[in-house]
Chain A
Amino acid sequence: MAEHKKPDPVDVVIVGLGASGGTAAKVLSEAGLKVVGLERGPYLRNHEHFSGDELKFVNRSYMWPDAKLTPRTRRVEEDEEAQPYPFSMTPQLVGGGTNHWAGWVPRPRPSDFLQRTLHGDVDGLSLADWPFQYEHLEPYLTKIEWEFGVAGIAGADKGEGFRSKPFPSKPLPPTRWGKKFYQAANEMGINAFPIPHAMVTNEHKGRQPFNRTSFWNQYGDPSGARSNTATTFIPEALATGRFELRSDCFVREVKVGKDGRATGVVYVDGSGAEFEQDARVVVLAMGAIETARLMLLSQSAQFPDGLANSSGLVGKNATFHEYLFAIGFFDNEIDDPLYGWTGNYISGGTMDFYETDESRGHIGGCIVSSSQTCHPINMVFPGRPSWGQAFKDADRTFFNYAMKIGLILHDMPQERNRVDLDPTHKDFMGLPVARITHRAHENDRAMGKWQVDKNIEILETAGARKTIPVYLDQVTGNTCHQHGTARMGFDPSTSVLNEWCQTHDIDNVFVVDGSGFPTSLGVNPTLAMMANAWRSCEYIAENYLTGRVERLAGAHS
């Protein structure tokens, strides 16, 4: 066995410094704990490394993981050999997905926490209630909105759950394509509102926003407008003097001692040197794919099937939220231009189709938003001619005359849909890569079809003269949302984590990213992930490390 260098032990080691790991760093260090954060990627400096370079950010994987170094594989059926596929390649760097994201931060609704109670047994699905409810999360949703910076209008969505505070920042003016959405929605009696946005539009906690470049979704933001943990929570954690950030450090194992408790993690730094960082508590926050992979890689005498995996459920029940949409083209000789490439990706949207209405033929529902059709190289235009006069004509005619209405597919959990270790493909470190096995459920397809068709209706009401619906075939991971691979619950035989994101098997291992989500929500998950991370880390600091055990109602039933 190689000799490891052993830095001084700390109270908490956090693995992964994206949305939830960045939140953990802030909350734990501000609570007075000594914390080390390990991030496999670099710590890019937003004002120095980011700009509106479409080729670099959207086509050449400057910020996305390089699929040659850290591939993933995918398959649909059990008997298939999984093939390399850039599945859900969420950026791996300090700040994680909050570097590239458009920043939709809608709140989940109370029904999201009760999918099992609401729908019972559904063939093929493994629905489960959350071990806590919307009201448990609400104070933390508010904290994230105010500490992190979110723009929106309280009360604009009539169906929103209880909200204890309005938003700290007002929404951006609507884009021209966004205004079309509002007009059509109003004509159809749909409650449109500005989708809550992880950006600030007025000075907030010292941030001076200016980014109106329209280089937004998938681009890094050189200004302070986008809410990114790398430019908010991480610097706040560093300012405590108790948080040490180690970037370019790849964690390959969580170590378990003879007593079955975690002792710390083994990692490799940028020069290839190996270290063992001991800690009283290990917090995993790499996203539901890489967290599950690390847990499965961390095999020990006590946990031969992977860390805290006595249930056998680590990696299972994975959900991924496919982004589906419909495009509308207008007539450049008659209609006003829409400039679909402008804006900060989202404008007006709705949650009117969010709650289950069984007359539609499926359970669940999705958030919907009008959104950018993006920049010239990567204009979102399925069926765009690949070459010739038709290509040039189509671009010239439609580039400024297109709009899009997208949705976040609320895909339902199935135990068979999972992340495990690929038996043949390895990453550049020589470790097995994450293999995704995912087959869309009939309910996922039906929901996608119904909502895309509804979006077409909205586009037609808005005056679109040609539409392109994009339906679900199989899930591609195109939202970068990842959940479910270490689901939370009260029963250790049917869940991996308890209601505090603490593993049932190992009391000093917590998983604070989307891995714990028993169901995927019909909204973008990051706000809920960060709120959940805050809540769990507060529990670590105020209860767990002070020797107090607290359980929620339901834990002993």
Chain B
Amino acid sequence: MSSKADWKTVLEPVDPDSDERLFFSQHQWDTVEALSARIIPTDHDPGAREARVVVFIDRYLSGINYIFAAADGSGFLQIDGPYASAWRSRITDMQRTYREGLAQLDALCTAEFGSPFVALADDDQDRAIEILSGRPKPGPVTLGTTEPAHTFTQFTTDDGLSFFDALCLHVKQGFYADPVYGGNKDRQGWRVIGFEGPASLKDTMDGTYSTDSFFVQEYEWTDLIPHLKVQTEWEPPS
């Protein structure tokens, strides 16, 4: 077994335009693509469909080859040792969650609307998602309110999530993750929300990518910290 420090880089960045399926059946692929388009719909800006989120999810669920991109985005890390067993078991569980979740979704769509999910109109698809998730479709976030919440951990994994909760997380990830993973095609997800992300992961390693221009350009510490003005001993740090 090799140390995590020595995991090899294999494969290449995922092609977002690929129609090759590594995990989903054609029907599952079409259903997940349709679901993703209800989770991040297309409007005057691209949505999950255009960003090729389905490719991202299919690669993720295909095994442990597409879990961690190499730091520079040139390919993927070949996971080894106990980490490989842990990820295999995690992905096996998630594959089951998707298979069962998609089957359950089609069953409820057929019972409720007479057709599988992909054949339904947008409104019926939304209604089917409400039934599946057991929650109403989220309403808009508005200004002028205060809504308390409780604490949570710094990181978000998909361990133990239900099918729909996992799907929402994966669609969000596929829309906003670095394009090396197959989604966020042409950085469309980032552009929708105005995130000026890097052109490549490699650019984040060597100083090529900088967010300098987003910092405040003109400032004096003595304006921000007025009491420094009256401290005779204080000198600006050099």
Contact = CB atoms under 8 A, between A and B. Distances in A.
Contacts of A4: none
A64 B155 contact: yes
B146 A60 contact: no
Interface string A405-438: 0000000000000000000000010000000000
Contact of B83 (A66, A391, A474, A476): A66
Contacts of A397: 141
B134 interface: no
B224 A182 contact: yes
Contacts of A68: 86, 89-90, 159
Interface centre among B153, B168, B206 (most CB of A within 10 A): B153
A213 B219 CA distance: 21
B33 to A, nearest CB: 15
B73 interface: yes
Interface string B141-164: 111111111111111111100000
B187 to A, nearest CB: 11
Nearest to B165: A386
Contact of A173 (B141, B193, B219): B219
B71 interface: yes
A51 interface: yes
Nearest to B160: A84
A391 B192 CA distance: 12
A309 interface: no
Given A170-B238, A466-B144, A214 B149 contact: no
B71 A61 contact: no
Given A166-B237, A173-B217, A270-B81, A399 B90 contact: no
Contacts of B81: 270
A390 B142 CA distance: 10
Nearest to B135: A386
A58 B156 contact: yes
Bin the interface of chain A by size.
35 or more
Contacts of B171: 387
B212 interface: yes
Interface in B203-238: 204-207, 209-212, 214-217, 219, 221, 224-228, 231, 233-234, 236-238
Given A48-B71, A342-B215, A399 B194 contact: yes
A400 B171 CA distance: 21
A399 B190 CA distance: 10
B72 A51 contact: yes
Contacts of A400: 193-194
Interface string A196-211: 0000000000000011
Contacts, number: 295
A278 B158 CA distance: 42
Contacts of B219: 173-174, 179
Task: State the majority secondary structure of interface residues on B.
Answer: loop
B45 interface: yes
B105 interface: no
Contacts of A329: 141, 143
Interface string A15-30: 0000000000000000
B138 A173 contact: no
B129 interface: yes
A468 interface: yes
B153 A476 contact: yes
Interface string B13-44: 00000000000000000000000001111010
B83 A214 contact: no
A176 B214 contact: yes
Interface string A330-373: 01000001010111000010000000000000000000000000
B215 A173 contact: yes
Contact of A466 (B83, B145, B204): B145
A86 B153 contact: yes
A60 B4 contact: no
Contacts of A471: 148-151
Contacts of A386: 138, 165, 168
Given A466-B143, A471-B149, 16 more contacts: A52-B204, A52-B209, A53-B178, A56-B68, A61-B157, A69-B83, A86-B155, A214-B211, A342-B214, A377-B173, A385-B138, A388-B137, A396-B193, A468-B149, A472-B150, A478-B154
9 contacts: A54-B177, A69-B83, A155-B234, A179-B219, A342-B211, A388-B41, A392-B45, A392-B192, A472-B150
Interface of B: 1-5, 38-41, 43, 45, 47, 67-69, 71-73, 81-83, 86-87, 89-90, 126, 129, 137-159, 165, 168-169, 171-173, 175-178, 180-181, 189-190, 192-195, 197-198, 201-202, 204-207, 209-212, 214-217, 219, 221, 224-228, 231, 233-234, 236-238
